[in-house]
Every structure is written in C-alpha cells, then in structure tokens.
Structure 1
Amino acid sequence: MKKYASTFLSKLIWFSLLLGTFPVIVLGAYSYYTASHTLQAKVYESNLQLLQQTESQIEQLLRLVDYSAIQYMNQPLVISTLRENLQSDASGVDKVRDLLNAMSKLQSSQLVAMSTQLVSLTGNWSVSETGLSALSANDVKDYGKWVEDPRTSFWSSAPSGMQLVKKIPTFSAHPTGLLVMTIPLYEINKLIGSETKLGHVLIMDESKYVFAGNDDTSLGKRYDELPFRGQLANGSEEQGFYSAHLDNERVGVSYRLSSYNSWVYLSVVSIDELNKETQDIGWVTLLICVGILLIALFISYLGSKKMYRPIRRLYDVMRDASGVVGGAETANEFEFMNDRFHGLLQREGRLLQEMKGQSLQMKEYFVFKLFQSDMSRAEISDKLAMFVHPLDWSDMCVMAIQIDTLKGTRFEEQDRDLLMFALNNIVSELVAAECRLLPVVMGDSQVTLLGRAVSGEQPFKTYLDLLAQDIMSMINRYLELKISIGFSRVFTDLKSIREAYMEALTALKYRMKLGEESILFIEEVQPEHSVPQHYPDALEQQFLDALKLADRDQTAQLLSQLITAIAADERTYEAYFMSFVRLLLQILQTIKDTGVNPDTLYTSESDLFNQLFSLNTAGQVELFFEKTVILPLVQHLEQRRDKQYQSISSEIIRMIETEFDTDLTLEVCARRMNYSPNYLTKVFRKETGINFSDYLSEQRMRMAKKWLIETDMKIGEIAKKLKYNTPANFIRYFRKLEGCTPGQYRENYLNK
C-alpha cells in the first residue's frame, strides 16, 4: 500500500533535478534567443531604414505633384471655365488653348513624366494633352465614383499609374470639376530601384493591392494572395515586423504605413539564411543540458529519498487516522491533508465572490445597453425588477458629466481614466440609490439616469440644478477639477432613454458659448430654430492685416474681439466650429500670402484642425489660436523683419563710408535701394540710434580729422572735398564739435 503514496517524493526528485538544470537551460535558451533576436532586429532596422528612404523619396514626388495641382486648380481661369460649355461656344477654343498652356507649364515644372486631365462635370467635357473631348456615359459614370468619395483629394491606383484626384471647388458638396494627374508606374519603380540584395520592396495602396515594387511575381496581386501575408499593424501603428513562410523558407517582412496616403511599404528578406550561424549555439546548449540533467538526476534521487522519510512517516499516521483506503491514497501527501481541512471553505468563498462580481457586471451591461440600444419596454421593466431598481418614477432625465480640461491641474492626460472612475464614485455617493440607476462611464463621459416619483417638471429641474451644483462643488473640493454637466429634456417614457442620452451629450457641446464649469440643459442652450449666422468679416480683415504686420498687441486684441463676436452669436455648436475652421483657413492663407511655408511653422496643417476640434470652450479656442497658430508666425515675421533692417542699415553705412565726398542724400540711397525715404529713415534710426544726416556728418568729420593729421591739404581743399559750401561753414562746424578750428587741431597734433 505504500507504493501508491509517493507523489510528493517524485515531485521532490523532479524539483531537485530542475533546480540544477533549469538555470543552464534558461541561459542556453536565452543565448540562442538573444542571438537570433538581435540578428532579426538588425534586419528589421536596416529594412525599415530602406523603407523609410523609399517612402520619403516617393512621397516627396507625390507632395510635389499635389502642390502643383493645388496651384493649377486655384487659378481663376480654371475655376471660371469649369462652369462653361466649351463645346458649344466658339470662344471656347481660346480658353482651351489657355488651359493647355497652363497645363504645359504645370507639367514642365515636374521632374517626372506626368499626364494631366481637367474634367468639367457641369459642361461634360475634359481637357488633356490631346485637347478637348466630350464625356461619354461611361466617363460620367466613372467620374461619379470619385465625386461620391467623401475625400476632397486622394490618390488612386490604376494599371497605367498613380492618379491624383482633386475636386473643384475643394470643400464643395457638389463639385463642378475634377483635376486628375497621373504618374506612370515606371516612375515609381525607378525610385524603388532593382536592388534585391537586402530583399524585395513592394508598395500597396489603401485596398492592399500591390501596384509597384521590384518583385515581378507579386505585382498585380492583393495582399491576401501573397504567400508571405501576415497580420499588419492597426491604424495607430506606423510600422512593424512579422515573420512568415515562403516556399519552405522563413522570411521577415518589415512594413511601414504611410501617414500621407495610407500606402503600405513592404520589405521581404530571408531569415533562415541569416540564422544559420545561431544554430550551432542551440546544439551546444542542448548537449550541455543533457549532460547536466543526467548528473543531477542521480544526485537528486539519493538526496530526495533521505529528505522524504520523515514526511512519509507523518503521512502514514494521517492516512490511518482518517481511515482512507483505495484510490484516495494516490493523492499528494500535503494535498491530502489540505483538502480535508480547507477545501470546503475555499470553494464556498470563491462561489460567493464570483456571484457578487457577476451581478455588478450584469448591472453595468444593462445600463450600457439601455443608453446605446433600442430595448423594448417589457425588457426594460423586467431588467429593472430583476435588479431591484425603482419603477415608479414619473419624471426622468439623463445627466452627462465631462472634464473641461486637465491643463493647469496636477493631473496628466494618462490620469483621465482614473479621474473618470473617481467622478463615477462621487456621483454614486451624492445621488440617492432610489433616484438613479447605476452610474457608468462611457468614453470620456460619466452618465447617469436620474428619476423621481414626485410629479412636476419644474420641481424636478430645480432638483437637478441643485444636484449639479453639489457635484461640481464636491469635485472641485477633492479633485480640484473643472467639469461641465449636461442634462437632457425631462421625459416619462422609458423608450426615450437612448434619445435623452444623446441630448445630454449634445448639451455639453454648447460649452463653446458658455465656457467652462457650465450646467447645461438642452432645452435652454439649443436654438429652437435656425437663425441667420453673422460672421464678423470686417473684424476678421482687421485681424489679418495686423497679423501680416506682426503687431503682437493689435493681433491679440483683435483676436479676442473676433472670438468673442463669434461665440456671442446665437447658433448651433456645429456653426461655431465652422466659423473657427474658416478663421483657421484664413490664417493659413495669410501665412502663405506673406511668403511663409506653413510646414516650417507647424507639424502639419491637419494636426491644427484635429487640435481645434478637440476644444470645448471659446477660451480654449482663443488660447489655441494665440499660442499654437499665431505666435510661431509672429516670431518668424519679426525675425525676418530684423534681418531685413540689418541688411538695409549695413548697405546705407557702406554708401556713406565710400561716398561721403559726394552729394550723397537719403533720397539718393532710397532710389538705389527701391525704398521710400521715410521707410529708410525709420529703419536706419532703429538700427543705429541716429538719423542719416548726423551719421554722414560724423563720417565726414572723421575723414576731415584724418586728412588734417595725415596730409598737408589746405583747409579750403578739405572743405570743398567734403561738400561744404564755404570754408567758413566748415571751420564753424568743426569748431562747434571739437572746440577749436581745423588749423589749431592740426597745429596741436604736430606740437605733440
């Protein structure tokens, strides 16, 4: 019977064995893994660099074509001609010729072969290098697919090449025309190159279609059809690496996702060829581990037998006392005793804890479903009864809470989830259980369904207002956060919960007008009917003029007035953002008008719009324009202006020092430099601290003293050479500055 009770002995032997061999196995495995991983990392790094270089070259070409397309499509000739029927008008010949001339200039500015086509959707004609042609029914159908695309500008792959499609006008819901620019595929392949030493390079478009690369076997296929296909990264990851099998060979695939046009760049290399040197390490490690295993097995068996004897004697006593016979003796000795004393209690506690956790999860799931899906009244009533929620509410309302901003607080953006959890707990404590359902966090909002049995909408709204003030006060006291609270309309039908949830979120969007720490009832903030929107055009023009002059004070003052004027208008929150988008577009256009490339001031223009759409209040919008958009431009213009001032002053000083003995005047300098005399006066005084005539007089006086000392020129000759009317005028001016006549000055120097 003892032969069955040796489970712990076997474990003891195995433990001793593993204690001796496990470190060696781990070290060997780690060495092999490190060598292989390092090699793959180097391959991954080199291929990513290759992909990045290829991506940079290709996207530089695409951006150049895109920029040229924008210049062409914004020409007044193109915009005005698109609405005309060139086929029915005899004057259309001249306009077609003008369009082709502008198109030829556009193509001559590119570094690659490229074709251009201008399509009129209203006139049903197109102009390309071949001339004017009418659109067929199939052409209209094909172009209609591009018109229905929500994007205003995009790249599309075609068998003949890559096509840039731009709608004209850009942001119109019903464009009047299209500009299509085509780059042949051989131009793309030239940038990729034919070098395959480090592997093949492929390019896929948005639909995962391989249209370019130096591997002819993969061209024209979709990514799902490739033998080395794998799992690409999500949209939030720009690059990655994975391994796959190709014809019984392991390959490594590096890829990059372009942020410009969502193309995917792939590089495929063989990993098996690179890993052959690491296989020797694996075999040596295996042999060493086997040898140590045999030695440790012999030592472990002898030592474990000796340590097991007292445990065996204790187990025999416990087994005989419990009267267990048969198969139960095969259990581990310690497990046998532990099961008898603690098994039942542990299972009971585990069961209670699981039931409690599942009940809370079911409640949360029900509340989420209540806000987001259309449930039947019967299902809602059944669930409320099951979770012991109140059923006698006469008035209900959805409350949504959002954090206004984390700037200026002790918290960072990564703390937002924890803060939302804290907000949810505070709401749970402040609102009585009989007046709410379970509070939940949905996205960046804390949402609660509130209700009361007391009838009357106005008393209920009074209760909601007081509750919101209490919640704001509590959160400000403990978390020092600014929040806003939105309320839906009061309703009585349980089927209206989903609609009320959307109303509460909509109410929060009107912080753009009312600012931070607002309590927003949807029926109070949302306009009941559309009203004409008044945009302050004159104030905007004053602001843009001040911006061009880099006048900081005037720009800041007019910006504040402009934001205030927009926010004070009675409009929907969508109209607010449209006005701010218009302002941002006007500023970007002003930047370009001043000769500044926006890419030198900002990371990207799209990033500016993303930041704008994430703002909640007019104050945040004003701070965004002032610090993020305007300040870099003003600093750039000031630096450019200072350099221009220095250059102008240096040129004037050079003229004075080389032409002081001529009839040099400020007007002469202004004509030579193509500036007005008043402008040169202001610039010269700002840079030197004195005016032009004083500086010229000082230079002439310096030369007069030099000639008196170093030459024997007569006083009259010096006066004439320095353009004084008479020697007397020169002597009088010299005595005024030096306290003596020119002759005395020369005599005093010679006497020294």
Structure 2
Amino acid sequence: MKLRAPTFLSKLIWFSLLLGTFPVIVLGAYSYYTASGTLQTKVYESNQQRLLQTESQIEQLLRLVDYSAIQYMNQPLVIASLRGSLTSDASGVDTVQDLLNSMSKLQSSQLVAMSTELVSLTGKWSVSDVGLSALSASDVKGYDKWVNDPRTSFWSAAPSAMQLVKKIPSYSAHPTGLLVMSIPLYEINKLIGSETKLGSVLVMDEAQYVFAGNEGAALGKRFDELPFGGKQTIAAEDHGFYKANAGKERVGVSYRVSPYNGWAYLSVVSIDELNRESQNIGWFTLFLCLGILAVALIISYLGSKKMYRPIRSLYDVMRNAPEAADAAETGNEFEFMNERFRGLLQSENRLLQEMQGHSRQMKEYFVFKLFQSDMAKSEIQDRLAMFGHPLGWSHMCVMAIQIDTFAGTRFEEQDRDLLMFALNNIVSELVAEECRLLPVVMGDSQVTLLGRSESDAQLFKSYLDTLAQDIMGMVNRYLELKISIGFSRVFDDIKIIREAYREALTALKYRMKLGEESILHIDEVQPEQSVPHHYPDALEQQLLDALKLADREQAERLLPQLIAAIAADERTHEAYFMSFVRLLLQMLQAAKDAGVNPNRLYAAEQDLFIQLFDLKTVGQVELFFQQTVMSPLLEHLEQRRVKQYQSISSEIIRMIETGFDTDLTLEVCARRMNYSPNYLTKVFRKETGVNFSDYLSEYRMKMAKKWLVETNMKISEIAEKLKYNTPANFIRYFRKLEGCTPGQYRENYFNK
C-alpha cells in the first residue's frame, strides 16, 4: 500500500521555509524597533543639546545684566543719591542728569533693549528712562513685595518683561533703595528662536509659569494647566524626560532646570510625528523581508525535493518487503521506517538481555557456590575460563563489607536490601574487572574475591588498604553511611576460598574492639588463642553496688570504664561477647537483689541477649547497657526511693507536730522508725531543705506566737512548755527571730 501523499516532503518544505523566514522576521522586527528607538534617542539628545544651548544663551544675557547692575549700584553717585533727597534746585537737577547719563551708558553697553529704574524708598523718588518721578504712598507700597522678599537679588516675571531686582544695600534687612532692570520678553524669545520642526521650546520661572517660548498658546499659563503637564512635576533635578498625552497626540517632554535662577527649560516633541517618520523605515524593512521570504520559499521547495529522493527510495524498499505487507498505514515515511527499525532493535535487545541475564545469573550462582561449598579445583578453573575471568593471579583475598549502624542516618533497617545493592554497585565501579570476580551480596555482607599478579604480598596488601579507603570514602559521600571492611589472609590457591570467606566475616567481628569504620585484616586483629585475658571484677562490683544504691552519677561514670577495660584486653571476639554476657547477667541479678522483678522492666530477658549479640562495636555495646539495661533499672529504683523519702519525711513531721512540747530529738525519731540518725538527717534535709533541729525550732516558735495571741499563758509557762532551759533563753531566741520580746509581740498584736 502506497502513501496517499509524500507527507514528509511537505513537512520538510515547511520546516525549510520556517527556518529561512523566522530569522528574517525577527531581524526585520528588530531592525524596525531599533531604528525607531535610535531615532527617538537622537531626537531626545538633540532636544537636550538645544535646551542646553538655549539655557546658556539666556543665562549669559542674564549674568551680563546682573553684572552691569552690580557695577551701577556700587557707584558712589548712586549710593550718595539714595542717602539724601533729590531737590528741585540746580544741584538736584545735576544729580538726576548724572544718574540718567550712567543709565544710558549702562544700556548702551548691553546687546539687547533694556530699561533701568532706580528707586529710593526713603526719599520716595525714582529715576528711570523718563526722568525723575515722585512716589506716592501707594507707589511705595507697590514695591513691598520686592522689599519683603528674603533674597537680595532675584529675577521677577512681568507680563511683558523679565525684571532683575537688586536691593540697596545688598545685605541689609531694611534696604533704602531698589535697582530694577527690565529685559523685554521678545528679546528672550529671539534667543529661543521660532523654529518648531524639532519641537517647541518653553521657559518657566520658579513659580512654574511659562513666560517665554515659541508656542504662543502656552505663554502665561502655569505648567499644570498645560495638556502635557497636568499630572507631572518638574523636580529640582538636572534634567529629565517623560512622555504624556496632549489631547489626542502623544508627546515627549525633555526638560532642564537651571541652577542659576531655578528656571525650567522645556522641549516638547510630538512622538506621533516621530513615529510617522519611522514608518518609512518600517515599509522598507517589510518589502525587504517579503523579498527574502520569496527567495527562501523557492530554495526550500527545490532543496527539499532533492533531499527527499533517497528517503523515498528507502521507504519504497522497506514498504515492499514481504514482512511489511500487513503493516498499518502511518503518518509519514519516517514514522513507518522508525516502527520497522524499532521492531528490529527491540528483538535484538530482548535477545541480548536474555543472554546477559542468564550469563549474570550463572556468574552469581558460580560465585555463591565458590564461597559456600567445596568445588573441585578443575571445576573452578573450567568455570573461570568459561566466564572469561583471569586465571593468572598470584595473590588473592576475600573482602567482606558490612554496614556498621543506621543510627544517625536517614535510613532504617527496612532499607538494608536496597543499600546493600547500592554498596555492591559501588564496589563494582571502583574495582577493575581484571582484579575481581563478580561482587555479590550474601546476607548482610557484600563479598568480593580480589586478586592481582603482584610480585610481593606486601604490595598487594597496600593495594587492599587503598581500595578500602576509596570504598569507604565513596559510601560516606553518596550514602552517608558508616561501613567496616574485613579482609581474609592473602592466599594463592583458589581452592581455599571458602575458608577465606569465613576469615573475612570473622575479621569484621573484631569491630568490638576497634569500633566503627574499621579496616580489619584477620591476621592483624585475631590474637593468639593462648593469650590469657582478665575480667575487671573490681570495677564490675563497684558498678553493681552503684545500681543497688540507685546512684545514677556513679553508675554512669563506672559503666564506660568497665566496658573500656573489657575491650582493651587482647582476646577473641567470642571472649568479648562472653564478658558482655556475664555483665548482663550480673546486672539482672543486681536488679533482683534490689527487689525488682526484671520482667517488669524489660519485655523479655532473652530479647536482651539477642540484642547484645547483634551489636558490632564497643560504642553500641555501651549505648545498649546504658539506655536499654541500666536506665530503666535506675529510674525504677529512683522512683521507689523518692516515695520512701517522702514517707519518712512525713512521719518525722508528724512526730514534730505531735511531740514538739516533749524532749524530742532526731535520735528519738530514729529509734521509733528503726533507721540510723545519719540516714534520717540526709533524707529529711533532701525533702524539706532544712535540718531537723531548725524545723523543730521553727515549729515551736510558731506555736509560741499562737499561744501569745490566743491564750493568757505567761511567758515563763510558754518557755517551759516548749522545753527551753530558762525563760531568758526563750526571750533571747524570740527577739532574734521577730525583732521584739514575746511581751512586746503580744502587746503589739492587741494594740492593732
């Protein structure tokens, strides 16, 4: 069955077209937006330069006028005129004429039209271009806004001019005169210019009124009344830029704030106009992209057809194969060929996996049998040759690895099988195949037969130590577990591998002495059987005595010493466990001697022995005896002792309360209760916090105060009843405690 259409060809054409058009579209869009953005940036920079130029020209004019005003106001003629009054005589006329001549010289030195006015606030006259004028009271009051201004020199906006106002004297709180120099606004507008192609330029004073510019509609208005200034604020910054809506048009506003007089210079440019300028770039980019797309389409079609021919030929061959006659129709040619190849690969993989699985199982079975049963040497050699294992090892050793503990790790006992599998994989990766047989997991141990063709057994042993360190480091890094590694004796005859396996496991049992994370060689850790060992009987007896007395501090101090003394002795691992079994039996007997039934403290005594034999290190043994065996016993004895102490103390207090008026002593109480006085002293002080004699004295004093206020007994009678030798002794002791005599105490009570 043939495909209805060469679907892969169409996909190839579309992919080639997309591959050619997508970069063009991205490049065109990027070019358009980059060009538009660059144009706006250039316009903004041009406006900033324009504003800077305008600001420089205007401020140059203002500074020139300011400098001329300072020269004029500091002339002796001006200062002398303001101090006196101008009269209508000949000298007054001459003075006015001199002032006018100075003004005319001042104006002729400027490049712009300018008017000057000198005002005397004390003499109430003014001299200007029109001559001398007398000032009325209302005229003088009109100058108050300038006089009251805290500045000594400033520019003030007028409807048709900008006025420079200077106070005379400059730094006086009450100036005697003013110098006002006015520049017509048209002179400032000439500096701005009427060109609006790059946007309008406006100038605002400190109060944000527009007083100059080339846009007539904005003159005389506040900034917030303008279409583009409603919600914006020109801060006292150097310069800035923002976008706003001016009716239906979007504009960009560039501004600069002058540090000289606080005036703001604004340039308003239509963003929509700039965008219209950018449309030409957009149209050019669009036509260029369309041309490139047309070329890409032609090349994609022709190139795809040429590349498709060998694919179609291969598809026809596979489709016409006999085994593909009943194959279902697929989406395109490659999907059909993919299904055919996948089927072939899956069949091949199944065959390989079955072969590898059977091979690995056979290898594992052989290794298990090698470690656990006797095999003929010829059979071993045949199997090794069949599995491709090396036969020329001169030195061999069995390595066994066990997990020390799960305490303090993120794993639990149910994770052991998975962790042993991971441990087996680590060994497989770290040990080269030519130096080992297949690593296997046997029970709770990972076991590997290692071998090398070393000329010296010591070199082989060094290799074993290095390998053990590497395995420990890898396990600690990835699994965060503590492991110990045991090695058998080095041998050269593979026939004795079963005995070597037992030696490796035996070496691991000597962790009881060396602790966790140990590397144990059987020939180094196993002592001679004839070496005698000693049991620390004295330390054991001291520990048992501390347990019977419920002395927790003493018991917790002696237990580590006893276990360390047992572990320090050179002995076989069987001897270690026999010593610890003896210690466990003695501690259980001590509990029985103290009147405690072990079955009330522990679930079953035989479970304690099972737990003991599962321990691997001295640290685990010490923790077992401390937490599992000793701690429950001490808690039980301490609770029983607390109850006993409370009962004894309660009985002593009862004796005091009933026999305080007798010759009661601690010895009398001890005889009645059948305890030693020293024991009662210790118990009573621990429960009440005071001595027996102090408690008895306090109680007698309590009864004395009660008799003083509730009875008419004489003081001598009270002293005798409370067993004081003399009334004076009673009075002296009472005054020491209460600060007054018994008689004064009774008198004070009834006088309240």
TM-score, L = length of structure 1:
0.54
Corresponding position of 1:432: 432
The CA distance in 2 between the partners of 1:566 and 1:683, in whole Å, is 37
Q: 1:683 to 1:351 in 2, by over 3 A?
A: same
Counterparts in 2 of 1:676 and 1:393: CA distance versus 1, 3 Å: same
**1:521 aligned onto 2:513:** no
What is the rounded CA distance, in whole Å, between the counterparts of 1:516 and 1:342 in structure 2? Answer: 52
> What is residue 677 of structure 1 aligned with on the other side?
677
Deviation readout 1:477-529 (Å, 9 max, x if unpaired): 22221111111111111111111111110111111111111111111111233
> 2:389 aligned with 1:389, yes or no?
yes
In 2, the alpha carbon distance for the partners of 1:467 and 1:344 equals 43
Partner of 1:553: 553
Q: Cα–Cα, structure 1 residues 682 and 341, in superposed 2: closer, same or farther, change >3 Å?
A: closer
Q: Distance in 1 between matches of 2:442 and 2:528?
A: 28
Matches within 5 A, 1:599-618: 599-618=599-618
* Aligned-partner SS, 2:607: helix
CA distance in 1 between counterparts of 2:516 and 2:424 reads: 20
Match in the other structure for 2:694: 694
Instruction: Please give the residue correspondences for 1:93-112 in structure 2 after superposition, counting only pairs within 5 Å.
Output: none
Residue 413 of structure 2: aligned partner: 413
Residue matched to 1:649: 649
Alpha-carbon distance in 1 for matches of 2:679, 2:345: 94
Q: Which residue of 1 aligns with 2:8?
A: none
The aligned counterpart of 1:595 is 595
Task: Show CA shifts across 1:292-346 (max 9, x none).
Answer: xxxxxxxxxxxxxxxxxxxxxxxxxxxxx9999xxx99x9999xx9999987665
* Post-superposition CA distance 1:89-108 (Å, at most 9, x none): xxxxxxxxxxxxxxxxxxxx
Q: 2: CA distance between counterparts of 1:519 and 1:419?
A: 20
| Distance in 2, Cα, partners of 1:363 & 1:545 | 59
User: In the aligned structure 2, how far is the partner of 1:322 from the partner of 1:619?
Assistant: 75
- Summarize the alignment of residues 32-181 of structure 1 with structure 2, pairs less than 5 Å apart: none
Give the residue type in structure 1 aligned to 2:358.
Answer: Q
Indicate conservation of the 8 Å contact 1:530/1:571, yes or no: no
Matched residues in 1 for 2:733 and 2:420: separation? 81
CA offset digits 1:447-481 (Å, max 9, x no partner) = 00011122321111111111111111221222221
Cα distance change on mapping 1:333 and 1:592 into 2, 3 Å = farther
The 5 Å alignment of 1:277-316 reads none
1:634 matched to 2:634:
yes
State whether residues 734 and 741 of structure 1, in contact with CA within 8 Å, keep that contact through their aligned partners in structure 2: yes
Is the CA contact (8 Å cut-off) linking 2:734 and 2:740 kept in structure 1?
yes
Partner of 2:137: none
Give per-residue Cα distances to partners, 1:348-388, cap 9 Å, x unaligned: 44222211211111111111111111111111111111111
Q: Counterparts of 1:703 and 1:415 in 2: how far apart (Å)?
A: 72
User: Which amino acid in the other structure matches residue 579 of structure 2?
Assistant: S
Please give the residue correspondences for 1:2-41 in structure 2 after superposition, counting only pairs within 5 Å.
none
Change (3 A) 1:341 1:440: closer
Residue 500, structure 1, aligned to residue 519, structure 2: no
Displacement of 1:617 in angstroms is 0.9
The answer to whether structure 1 residue 364 and structure 2 residue 369 are counterparts is: no
Percent of aligned positions that are identical = 81
Distance 1:456-1:633 versus aligned 2 partners, 3 A rule: same
CA distances 1:406-454 after superposition (whole Å, capped 9, x unpaired): 1111211111111111111111111111010011111111100011122
Letter in 2 for 1:676: S
2:553 counterpart letter in structure 1: D
Secondary structure at the aligned position of 1:454 is classed as coil
Question: Which residue is 1:146 aligned to?
Answer: none
Matches within 5 A, 1:653-668: 653-668=653-668
Compute the displacement of 1:553 (Å).
2.4
CA contact (8 A) 1:542 1:558 kept: yes
- 2:712 alignment counterpart: 712
The unaligned stretches of length 5 or more in structure 2 are 1-318, 331-335
Q: What secondary structure, in the 3-state scheme, does the structure 2 residue paired with 1:484 have?
A: strand
Distance 2:740 2:461 in 1: 94
Q: State the distance in 2 between where 1:697 and 1:409 align.
A: 60
* Matched AA of 1:350: R
For residue 703 of structure 1, report the CA deviation from its aligned partner.
1.1
Q: Secondary structure at the match of 1:567?
A: helix
Secondary structure in 2 matching 1:712? coil
Distance 1:323 1:404, change over 3 A: closer
Q: Which residue of 2 aligns with 1:441?
A: 441
Q: Aligned with 1:477: secondary structure?
A: helix
1:745 to 1:454, Cα distance in 2 relative to 1, 3 A: closer
1:627-646 Cα deviation digits (max 9, x unpaired): 11111111111111111111
Partner secondary structure for residue 437 of structure 2: coil
Q: Distance in 2 between matches of 1:509 and 1:386?
A: 35
* More deviation, 713-722/437-446: 713-722
Distance 1:491 1:409 in 2: 37
Structure 2 CA distance for aligned equivalents of residues 420 and 466 of structure 1: 21
Q: Distance in 1 between matches of 2:590 and 2:538?
A: 15
Is the Cα–Cα contact under 8 Å of residues 363 and 438 in structure 1 kept in the other structure?
yes
User: Radius of gyration: which is bigger?
Assistant: 2
Specify the alignment match of 2:483 in structure 1: 483
Q: Give CA-to-partner distance per residue, 1:223-266, whole Å, 9 cap, x none.
A: xxxxxxxxxxxxxxxxxxxxxxxxxxxxxxxxxxxxxxxxxxxx
Q: Distance in 2 between matches of 1:467 and 1:661?
A: 86
Q: Is the 8 A contact 2:529 2:572 kept in 1?
A: no
Aligned-partner Cα distance in 1 for 2:710–2:735: 19
Q: Which amino acid aligns with 1:697?
A: S
Task: Confirm whether residue 721 of structure 1 aligns to residue 682 of structure 2.
Answer: no
Query: What RMSD in Å do the two structures reach over aligned CA positions?
Result: 2.5
1:586 corresponds in structure 2 to 586
The TM-score, its normalising length taken from structure 2, stands at 0.54
1:467 aligned residue: 467
Q: Distance in 2 between matches of 1:461 and 1:341?
A: 52
Measured in 2, the distance between the counterparts of 1:342 and 1:634 equals: 72
Q: In the superposition, relative to structure 1, how do residues 467 and 322 fare at CA in structure 2: closer, same or farther (>3 Å)?
A: closer
Distance 2:667 2:659 in 1: 14
| SS of residue matched to 1:683 | helix
Tell me the secondary structure at the aligned position of residue 428 of structure 2.
helix
Q: What amino acid is aligned across from residue 493 of structure 2 in structure 1?
A: D
- 1:562 is displaced (CA, Å) by 0.9
Q: 1:427 to 1:349 in 2, by over 3 A?
A: closer
AA partner of residue 459 (structure 1): L
Q: 1:172 maps to what in 2?
A: none
State which drifts further: 725-734 or 673-682.
Answer: 725-734
SS at match of 1:745: helix
C-alpha distance in 2 between matches for 1:343 and 1:470: 43
What is the distance in 2 between the residues matched to 1:744 and 1:465? Answer: 92
Which moves more between the two structures, 479-488 or 583-592? 479-488
Aligned residues: 428
Pairing 1:252-401 to 2, within 5 Å after superposition: 346-401=346-401
Q: Secondary structure at the match of 1:397?
A: strand
| Residues in 2 aligned to 1:340 and 1:563: alpha-carbon distance in whole angstroms | 72
- Residue 533 of structure 1, CA deviation: 2.2
SS in structure 1 of the partner of residue 486 of structure 2: strand
Deviates more, 1:401-410 or 1:571-580: 401-410
The amino acid that maps onto 1:722 is L
Q: Write the distance in 2 (CA, Å) between the matches of 1:323 and 1:616.
A: 68
User: Residue 564 of structure 1 corresponds to which residue in structure 2?
Assistant: 564
Partner Cα separation in structure 1 for residue 648 and residue 521 of structure 2: 61
- What's the counterpart of residue 744 of structure 2? 744
Output the CA distance in 1 between the equivalents of 2:704 and 2:415. Answer: 75
